[in-house]
Amino acid sequence: MSTHTDAAPTGGATRSGQSIGKIVFASLIGTAVEWYDFFLFGSAAALVFGEVFFGKIGGTEGTLYAFMTYALGFLARPLGGIVFGHFGDRVGRKKMLVVSLLMMGIGTAAIGVLPTYGQIGMAAPVLLVLCRLVQGFAVGGEWGGAVLMAAEHGRDDQRGFWSSWPQAGVALGNLLATGVLWVLAAVQSDAAFLAWGWRVSFLLSAVLVIVGLWVRLSIEESPVFAESKAELEARAGQKQHLPILEVIKRYPREVLVAMGMRMAENISYYIFTVIVITYATTYKAIDKPVVLRALLIGAAIQFFVVPAVGALSDKVGRRPLYLFGAVGVAVWTFVFFNLVDTKSSTNILLAVVVGLVLHSFMYAPQAAFFSELFGTSVRYSGASVGYQFASIFAGALAPIIALQLLGDVKDGNTFAVGVYVAIASVITIVAVLFAKETRNSSLRHDRVVETAPVEA
């Protein structure tokens, strides 16, 4: 496969002739909807699921069980990444993005109508787990497809900027989820919110999914993928192409590097956005609207910071920004909890905003970075596997480990949580140092195609 740099046409058009803005918007809006659904579960787990689905347990222990259910979504993500990656590398990115969005919408809307523990007993948390697994499976296939559609349509020298927009979609999804919960919590009594108010936010997912599907169905397939598929079929035959096996055989180092790079980014994010809710409301008796408002503003700011940092990565490179973010979150976590401890709404806002800005220095260049690590015929599988498998050890366990490290409600051990994030940052720093700088590299490279035998 050709390895030369072949920039997209000027004037905002992609190689397929569609506007890069339209392609990126399709990735952004779909990703925002998917992560609205996924984050909504995390926020609801911190606020209401312990009481609603785990009966008499309630309190901190009920919240811990809710976080365990939350973690199961992460366990399903690698499987989703493998399945969606396989078909995304064989039949195309666009089709898989449509399927993942539909699955996520169904799983989330179903949560909104689930009966409670008081109504059907243990069947309630079992059904909640099933819905969460559907969510995890769907989001496991979402990320890789969304960032690749943006990365493979755009110019090589602007890839960091354009492919960071799906990452901004994650911030937008968090903004929507937190915003809806904040409004509902602000206009309802705690009893009404616990009884039925939280369900509204899950049912709204159906409306968002319809919008996302309408946009995604209107875009064209990635031209880089189409070229790679045609060349692979001409050389070795698509029937022999098993993307996940090719990733394991030809890109094991890249998978490990991607997983290591995810640790500080993923863990710190859930400390700053999920654990802060439980810590502030349960450990420090801070009103929920105060914390949710801080998260709302933080997500709004991050939505604009991510593409700005993505553009910067096109100028200075992916590695230096990633390293800055990894060091930054390690240091800031200690400051973060000290600011929350003051119970000042201004300080809580500062803690969240700075934390999310530092996180953006890793998250913004990540999409381009991971896309550039893998060849086109296995890029969906490789990027998804590296990204999603790390989620099991990072995001899935982060709320559970942090809650255990915090310990007793009367005297939360925030220092231990800070050490936990610092250890994750060391792992990420080592991984980044092992990674090569990929800024401005062409995506037209593929070890699988290059080594495939030519059919007679």
pLDDT 10s digit of each residue in the chain, 456 long? 433 344 444 445 554 456 788 888 888 887 888 778 777 877 777 777 777 887 665 556 666 777 777 777 778 888 998 899 888 888 888 888 889 888 888 888 898 899 988 888 888 888 888 888 898 898 888 888 888 888 888 788 889 999 999 999 888 888 888 788 778 877 878 788 777 888 888 888 888 788 888 888 888 777 777 777 777 666 655 556 688 888 888 889 999 999 999 999 999 998 998 889 889 988 988 988 899 899 989 989 999 999 999 999 999 999 999 999 999 999 999 999 999 999 999 999 999 999 999 999 999 999 999 989 988 888 889 888 888 888 888 887 888 899 899 887 777 899 999 999 999 999 999 999 999 898 877 777 665 655 555 554
Nearest 5°: the CA angle 299, 105, 377 is: 85
The pLDDT assigned to 62 comes to 65
The pLDDT assigned to 60 comes to 60
Nearest to 350 by CA among 338, 365, 366, 362: 338
Nearest to 275 by CA among 132, 427, 413, 183: 413
Q: Token pair 């997983």 is at which residue?
A: 259
> What's 20-451's CATH class?
mainly alpha
Largest Cα span, the chain = 74
| Region of residue 374 (phi > 0: left; psi between -120 and 50: alpha; otherwise: beta) | beta
Residue 19 DSSP SS3: strand
The pLDDT assigned to 89 comes to 86
| Region of residue 12 (phi > 0: left; psi between -120 and 50: alpha; otherwise: beta) | left
Report yes or no on whether pTM surpasses 0.85: no
The pLDDT assigned to 220 comes to 79
Nearest to 435 by CA among 269, 318, 296: 318
- Please tell me what DSSP assigns to residue 45: I
Q: Cβ distance 58 to 120 under 8 Å?
A: no
Q: 422-449 as b/e, with b when 16 or more CB fall inside 10 Å?
A: bebbebbbebbeebeebbbbbbbbbbbb
